Structure formats: structure tokens, C-alpha cells
Amino acid sequence: MKNDYTIRLETKSDYREVEYLTREAFWNVYRPGCLEHYVLHVLRNDPAFVPELDFVMERGGRIIGHVMYMRSQIQADSGHTIPIMTFGPISIAPDCKRQGYGTILLRHSMEAARKLGAGALAITGSIGFYGKSGFVVASTKGIHYFAEPRSAEVPYFLIRELEPGFLEGVAGTYQDPAGYFVDESAAEAFDAQFSPKEKLKLPGQLA
Ligand SMILES: CC(C)(COP(=O)(O)OP(=O)(O)OC[C@H]1O[C@@H](n2cnc3c(N)ncnc32)[C@H](O)[C@@H]1OP(=O)(O)O)[C@@H](O)C(=O)NCCC(=O)NCCS
């Protein structure tokens, strides 16, 4: 197990460095360029943002990782609203990826979320990464993603109970908190504050 890092809450003086890290981590991964540094910038002021779960990971005097959480909900078929949480952006510096840091940061933050009372987490992402930390495809548990038909297999929409049995017998639909849907031209304008970086169309991107 690694012991060359520390995890602490983000402070205002970290904001720029963490936005830079987020931009570096996501750049050209899911689309040419990325929106996530702007998403993070906006979400810190969102009422659903959870400041107690806004973590940075440091190693060798620099920030190499970050994750933040948002309160969200499942709209149950029974008519109830079930409060859960989601998280992201989650970022690891490009030169530190695939060395286990993302998993360490994720698990640390999940334990903190559990202690804060979150019963479950939902996330859109890769089962390759999240499956190793206990996430399962949500549709197999009766929780459906708003943007897809209920009959669809949605391998990228994942869920994890933090409190065992929390989602027992629950069927419903999940929608990402509204704050995640940012205006792309505003994101573009925000990105212009950073040093220019080439946008590339690469295989495997989603958009
Ligand atoms: C995704 C991310 C946070 C993972 O952090 P990391 O430190 O690189 O991941 P870890 O080293 O802890 O990975 C553990 C395992 O998860 C799997 N994994 C990691 N990244 C993966 C990816 N992008 N796709 C599929 N599986 C992945 C691998 O099996 C890996 O083990 P291996 O390296 O022995 O094969 C990081 O790579 C990152 O910042 N990526 C860009 C931004 C991003 O995609 N964020 C998540 C959006 S949902």
C-alpha cells in the first residue's frame, strides 16, 4: 500500500490549481478538450455541493488528485424521493494515473460519504475503474438512467450502496443534478483563462 500521499479538504487557495489539474486529467479524454474544469468551477457554488467531501490528494508538495461530491436523488417508482449522492469530477494528474491513487482517493471519499450519512452513490463512468471499488451496473438493481430507455442495458450508469440494504426493493430513475449540465460556450470562455491547449479528436471519445 502506498504511503507517499496525504488527503485533505480543498481550500479556496487550491481552487485554481485543482481546476488546472482537472483540465489536465480530462483533456481530450471524452471529447476534444473538456468541460470538467468549468463544471467543477460552477459546482462549488451549487446548493447540492458537499463541502465536507471536497478532497485533494497531495504528493511531493503538489496536488495530484481531487474529487468532489454532490447531493442527488433517485425518483422511486413508488413516488418517494430517495436522497443519495454522486461525485465527480474525479481527477488524477496524467503522470500519476494507473498507479492506484484514484482508487485510494475514491475509497477514502466513499468512507467519508458513508460517515456523513450517504446511503448510496450513483455515477456515470467506467465499470473497469469503479467496479473494483464495489460499483455495479445500476439497471441490474432496478435503478435506471433518465437519458436511456428502461429496457436498455446501460453499462456506464453505476451504483453502490454505502449502507447495506439501502436500495433493497427500490426501483426508480436517476438524473444527474442540474448543475452538471453546463453551458458549453460559457465553458469555452472559462477555458480561455488557461494556457492554450490543442483539442484533438481521438478514437474512444464519447462526444
Ligand atoms: C479515472 C481516474 C480517476 C482513475 O484513477 P487512477 O489513479 O488512474 O486509477 P487506478 O490506478 O486507481 O486504477 C485502478 C484500476 O482501475 C482500472 N482503471 C483505471 N482507469 C481506468 C479507465 N480509464 N478505464 C477503465 N479502467 C480503468 C484499471 O483496472 C486499474 O488497474 P490497472 O492499472 O492495474 O489495470 C484517472 O485515471 C483520471 O483522472 N482519468 C481522467 C479523468 C476521468 O476519466 N475521471 C473519471 C470520470 S467518471
Q: Does the pLDDT value for residue 44 go beyond 90?
A: yes
Q: Does the pLDDT value for residue 47 go beyond 80?
A: yes
Residues 6+ apart with CB under 8 A from 2: 99, 100, 101, 104
List pLDDT tens digits, range 53-87: 999 999 999 999 999 999 999 999 999 999 999 99
List pLDDT tens digits, range 7-41: 999 999 999 999 999 999 999 999 999 999 999 99
Q: How much is the pLDDT for 153?
A: 84
Q: How many A from CA of 11 to the centre of ligand 1?
A: 25
* Domains of the chain with bracketed CATH: 6-176+187-191 (3.40.630.30)
Ligand 1 pocket, residue 2 CB under 6 Å: no
- Report how far apart, in Å, the C-alpha atoms of 114 and of each of 108, 160, 161, 164, 191 are: 10, 11, 9, 11, 34
Ligand 1 pocket, residue 67 CB under 6 Å: no
Q: Which one-letter DSSP state was computed for residue 49?
A: B
| Rounded distance between C-alpha atoms, residue 144 and residue 135, angstroms | 15
